[in-house]
Amino acid sequence: MFVLIVLFVLNSLDGIFLKKIYPKKYEDIVKKYSQKYDVKENLIYSVMRTESNFDPNAKSEAGAIGLMQITPETFKWLQQKNKNLPRASVDELVNPDINIEYGVYFLSVLLNKYNNISTSLCAYNAGIGTVNDWLNEQKYSLDGKVLMNIPYKETRNYVKQVIKTEKIYNKIYF
């Protein structure tokens, strides 16, 4: 009986510890845009954790900004693509609500375009034009739809990390 209690306590502590490492920050905002754009919540958390580790003020060397690391160019493109997105300036990408909505909308566009999570994540990281070029090369894609090989090491590692993180979120928060 004592062993069962110890195992239960250790398992509970493990769950508490994992939730600290893999939190669900900005839960209300994530839930709202997950439903609005039909993107899985745990995928959104995985992208945020991988991109910025939940830092709304994060800025990359490439100029990406905020929780979901959106570049000013992508931000402007998304505003042109969807006139229903809130009008905002690039400076407002540090606002979690703005950043998450644009990031989740961008993910939804990519998931609808490529119909494949791995390919969509490649485009999120390396850009749509780059991914379209890869899809047109047989050394990267046999069918022009799914990437067998990801030529950029950074993008390859990014995709692996987001997918691994999403699996962990799915396990912790089923």
| Domain range summary for the chain, segments of one domain joined by + | 24-173
Alpha carbon distance, N-terminus to C-terminus of the chain: 28
Q: What is the pLDDT of residue 15?
A: 81
- What letter represents residue 76's amino acid? K
Look at phi and psi of residue 63 and say left if phi exceeds 0, alpha if psi is from -120 to 50, else beta. left
We find that the CATH architecture of domain 24-173 is Orthogonal Bundle (1.10)
In the predicted model, what is the mean pLDDT of the chain? 93
Q: What is the pLDDT of residue 76?
A: 97
Q: What is the pLDDT of residues 110-128, one digit of tens each?
A: 999 999 999 999 999 999 9
Q: What is the pLDDT of residue 71?
A: 97
Q: Measured between alpha carbons, how far is 123 from 27 in angstroms, rounded to an integer?
A: 25
- Catalytic residue flag (residue 166): no
Q: What is the pLDDT of residue 174?
A: 82
Q: Stretch 63-85: mean pLDDT, rounded?
A: 97
Single out the catalytic residue among 41, 51, 101, 166.
Answer: 51
Asked whether residue 6 carries a pLDDT value surpassing 60, the answer given is no
Selection from 21, 35, 62 nearest residue 158 by Cα: 62
Which one-letter DSSP state was computed for residue 86?
P
Q: What is the pLDDT of residues 135-166, one digit of tens each?
A: 999 999 999 999 999 999 999 999 999 999 99
Selection from 134, 163, 130 nearest residue 147 by Cα: 134
Of 60 and 13, more confident: 60
pLDDT band, residue 3 (cuts 50/70/90) = very low
